[in-house]
Amino acid sequence: KIVPPAKDGLANIELLKKIITRKTALVAVTHLSNVTGIVCPLDDVINFAHKKGALVLVDDAQYIVSHKENVTASGIDFSAFSGHKLGGPTGIGVLYGRKELLKKMLPYHVGGGTVKSVSVLGSNIKVDYLPPPFKFEAGVQHHAGIIGLGATIEFLERIGIRKINDYLEELAEYTLQKLSSRSYIGYMADYERHKPSSLVSFFFKNKELSLQDFNLFLNHQLPDYFIAVRCGHHCAMPFHKFANIPISMRLSFFIYNTKSEIDVFFRALDKYFQNK
């Protein structure tokens, strides 16, 4: 069952509560939307889901960039995030699961390093797997990625996650201030009521104007700069369909971004509309 977002672009918690029943096995929820940049009230979801006997899987890919996730205190059952969003290597990520749950689960594939013992009893084969996490990590691991991701996390912790979060929120607020003076811009969420954390997504209110054309314009019209944004559905096409918005453009920020870079984007935006 899919829960559509509320009109303000947030997760529709009240509708989610109506859908979760005693028959619900797993609730999957995004902690921080990669479309709106707004944090979901996760504690409320977890508490209600657990009361109904459901487990909770949290997509932390965007949240973990600027927040610490205390899986023990929150009661999260499973959490997943990617390495590259942290500025680390591609092709690696983290899947957390509560140990008592992982002990009950079987691996979806097997191989070297997953098996404790194999016994042949007549025509039957009995397999005992190693305890987690080993039984889920068949074959040769992505050692280079593991080392790189570890170094990335150590680097970010030296800076301080709280400091990172404050800086990214400052960049998002700066962007919204500059966007607010341009009446032709619409937003994927109600940013007046809900503060975005590390990104801002918008669209052109006039649907005759193409965001895709503007995206191409960004690559060619400022010869001294290459402006990297994301234009499209952000792996969230249903979200856009619910909002009746064909596509949106996302400005997402990290510790290496600056306000001067945001100013370059707005110079390009203004130049684009001078020609319209």
Q: Which residues are catalytic?
A: 235
CB atoms within 10 A of CB 5: 20
Which residues sit opposite 39 in a β-bridge? Answer: 32
Distance in angstroms (rounded) separating the CA atoms of residues 45 and 50? 9
Amino acid at 126: K
Segment (H or E) for 99:
helix 99-104
C-alpha angle 138-60-38 in degrees, rounded to nearest 5: 165
The upper half-sphere exposure of residue 235, i.e. CA atoms within 13 Å in the direction of its Cβ, equals 5
64: helix, strand or coil: helix
C-beta of residue 178 within 8 angstroms of C-beta of residue 262: yes
C-beta of residue 103 within 8 angstroms of C-beta of residue 132: yes
173: helix, strand or coil: helix
With tokens 């690696």, the residue in question is 92
8: helix, strand or coil: coil
Number of H helices, E strands in the chain: 9, 10
CB atoms within 10 A of CB 246: 15
Segment (H or E) for 67:
none
Nearest residue to 5 (alpha-carbon basis) of 21, 29, 23: 29
